[in-house]
Structure 1
Amino acid sequence: MTVSAQVPAPSQPVAAASPRPRWSEMSGLARREAIEGYLFLLPNIVAFFVFLAGPMLAAVYFAFTNYDLTWPPRFTFLENFQVMFTNDLFWQVFGQTFYWAFGMVPATIVLALGLALMINREMRGVLTYRLVYFIPHVTLSVAASIVWLWVYHPDVGFLNLLLGYVGIDGPQWLLNRRTAMPSLILMGWWKSVGFAMLIFLAGLQGIPAELYEAAVMDGANPRQRFWSITVPMLSPAIFFVMVTSIIGAFQGFDVFYLMTRGGPANVTTTMVLHIYNNGFLYLKMGFASAMAMVLFATIMIFTLGQWVYARNWVHGFAD
């Protein structure tokens, strides 16, 4: 028998929300509280326009000029973009940025999900494991770079010492064109997995245990439970990590600047490092601003593409 619940009608009509009083209608106390609220917001508003909105608008303007930090900018329309798109080094750097991003993000997601599944259980020392995996993420890039420069050192580096024990002569990891970028990607995994693991762990702990219990009663094996329950229920966390990781990867700078300065032969130069070099080393601020606009457009295209495609696989996204 189906029982339908009926909500009783209210005995009195609900009063409509009163409109916000005008400034002239406010009492002295209300005006003082409003002023205090605006004053608390003022530092953040000023900081937003000075450090974010202002530089972004300036970069858009400089992208169409020949500004070089020494002389007033002169409008050149699309000349910077024409030079950029006919420059071989730009396309090399653009491709290397994709190499870095897509070498980083998929593996980071897989490794982080695997670690989250491993430590999402009741076992001895689980808190220690979580801390150990998360520490690299909060380690300063300078400190991490110093450690990994030692790991990759061709003579006294930890990695080549290990290879030497098994009779393998290790290469000069950061000075070899073939191994420089993969070496930095390996360091990137080490540094970024902890954050993604923490997000996945929070998502796993939010999945109702009743779903797994019902699946076990229906005879589902672990693989079926993973693909039918874990992945769909964890898809919002996967989507968040994917979007933020791709944006962060396209903006990669500190590791390349600290460890290789873009070498050898520009094989580890990414877009942001190339923008920095042109803007502050070669003083071609207009050209650097044009590249920044291209990078911004690239990130926006990927982000919007993921957002549109998310409706097909992210649980609850359409809601």
Structure 2
Amino acid sequence: MATVTSPARTSPAAKPAPPPGRRRTRSAARTREALAAWTMLAPNLTLVTVFLLVPLVMALVLSFQYSTGLTSPTWAGLANYRQLVADPVFWRTVANTAVFCVATVPVEMAMGLGLALLFNSVMPARPVWRTLVYLPMVISGVATALIGTLMFDENIGLLNKLIGTVGIGALPWQTDGTAAMGSVILITLWMRVGFNMVIYLAGLQGISPELYEAARVEGASWWQQVRNITVPMLGPSTFFLLIMNVIYSFQVFDTVFVMTLGGPGHATDVMITYAYRNGFEGRQQGYAAAIGIVLYLLVMAFTALQWRFSRNRDTVG
């Protein structure tokens, strides 16, 4: 019986190596591309290094020193951080910062989304209303805080005069801690809602109208469209706003400093105003730097956690 032999399998021919001249050409092209990339990155990297990394390292070093800003600093080790842990005023400023963050961030994001949904629809004079809502963001924080001071002044403030017309007594906006914090929160909301509205409005205009048309064909109500289409598709906008609003809340300074100076009795003092007071009024710059480093670590920790647990930050929408 004859046996059939299969043809021998031949290994594929190895690709010939490119000639040395071509290898040199490719290497030169990659070098030119890398050089062009670093050339374009150089200005930003220089600015980040000079205005972010270098001050951060200097603040970290200063936090381990005793310094008044007028004499040569001396090494303190962990003394500033031990003082920070035992300082009841510092812990009160941490609590005030947390209260301010919790009271402003969700509200301004919800109001910004609501206004974005409103201004994304058909309505008369829509550009004018958008401009009016965003206008406080254009004004400097100090100017906005001065407007807030005039509005919430206990004696001549516009808000107390309006309250008086309906028979309600004047509220102690400057002498009561809770009312003072409330005034700062209200002015912050007035100032920050426009920013949230613009970001959400940009996100809404990137959502395909076909999604809403398909939902309406299926009988979805307006609320179902918002819950199942709008909110998920605005995931990247929400992620961005959450990070930016929390960072702003932890770094708020001008509004508190102009309106209340942290009073009454540290009732509105936040971490950054307390660091300023220690660094420039109390001449404890090492201690102020330690507060700043703790604030930086808190912001970075929150950002890292939010980045880790945000599942829809990369959703297109």
Band of TM-score, shorter chain: 0.7 to 0.9
Tell me the SS of whatever aligns to 1:188.
helix
Tell me the SS of whatever aligns to 1:80.
helix
In 2: Cα distance, 1:213 partner to 1:46 partner? 49
Letter in 2 for 1:93: T
In 1: Cα distance, 2:168 partner to 2:29 partner? 78
Tell me the SS of whatever aligns to 2:190.
helix
8 A Cα contact 1:232 1:314, kept in partner:
no
For 2:26, the equivalent position in structure 1 comes to: 18
Q: Please list, as runs of the form range in 1=range in 2, the aligned pairs for 1:244-255 lying within 5 A after superposition.
A: 244-255=244-255
In 2: Cα distance, 1:289 partner to 1:57 partner? 11
Q: 1:302 to 1:48 in 2, by over 3 A?
A: closer
For 1:302, the equivalent position in structure 2 comes to: 302
Q: Does 1:98 align with 2:98?
A: yes
8 A Cα contact 1:233 1:315, kept in partner:
no
Q: Does 1:316 align with 2:315?
A: yes
For 2:125, the equivalent position in structure 1 comes to: 125
For 1:238, the equivalent position in structure 2 comes to: 238
For 2:257, the equivalent position in structure 1 comes to: 257
Q: Does 1:290 align with 2:268?
A: no
In 2: Cα distance, 1:186 partner to 1:93 partner? 19
Tell me the SS of whatever aligns to 1:18.
helix
In 1: Cα distance, 2:185 partner to 2:154 partner? 18
Tell me the SS of whatever aligns to 1:279.
helix
Q: Please list, as runs of the form range in 1=range in 2, the aligned pairs for 1:113-152 lying within 5 A after superposition.
A: 113-152=113-152
Structure 1, unaligned stretches of length 5 or more? 1-14, 27-32
Q: What CA deviation, in whole Å up to 9, does each residue of 1:54-77 have, x standing for no partner?
A: 211111111111122122222222
For 1:274, the equivalent position in structure 2 comes to: 274
* Higher alpha-carbon deviation: 104-113 or 142-151: 142-151
Q: Please list, as runs of the form range in 1=range in 2, the aligned pairs for 1:155-304 lying within 5 A after superposition.
A: 155-304=155-304
For 1:108, the equivalent position in structure 2 comes to: 108
**CA apart distance, 1:274:** 0.7
Tell me the SS of whatever aligns to 2:64.
coil
**CA apart distance, 1:47:** 4.4
* Higher alpha-carbon deviation: 186-195 or 116-125: 116-125
8 A Cα contact 1:97 1:250, kept in partner:
yes
Q: What CA deviation, in whole Å up to 9, does each residue of 1:177-231 have, x standing for no partner?
A: 1200011000000000001100001111111111011111111111111110010
For 1:10, the equivalent position in structure 2 comes to: none
Tell me the SS of whatever aligns to 1:261.
coil
8 A Cα contact 2:235 2:315, kept in partner:
no
Percent of aligned pairs sharing the same letter: 35
8 A Cα contact 1:175 1:264, kept in partner:
yes
In 2: Cα distance, 1:136 partner to 1:279 partner? 30
8 A Cα contact 1:59 1:289, kept in partner:
yes
In 1: Cα distance, 2:137 partner to 2:28 partner? 46
In 1: Cα distance, 2:142 partner to 2:293 partner? 28
**CA apart distance, 1:21:** 6.2
Taking structure 2 as the reference length, the TM-score comes to 0.86
8 A Cα contact 1:149 1:259, kept in partner:
yes
8 A Cα contact 1:232 1:315, kept in partner:
no
Tell me the SS of whatever aligns to 1:207.
coil
* Higher alpha-carbon deviation: 140-149 or 57-66: 140-149
8 A Cα contact 1:279 1:288, kept in partner:
yes
**CA apart distance, 1:45:** 5.4
In 2: Cα distance, 1:284 partner to 1:61 partner? 14
Q: What CA deviation, in whole Å up to 9, does each residue of 1:51-101 have, x standing for no partner?
A: 322211111111111122122222222111111001101100111011111
Greater Rg over alpha carbons, structure: 2
Structure 2, unaligned stretches of length 5 or more? 1-21
8 A Cα contact 2:233 2:315, kept in partner:
no
RMSD: 2.4
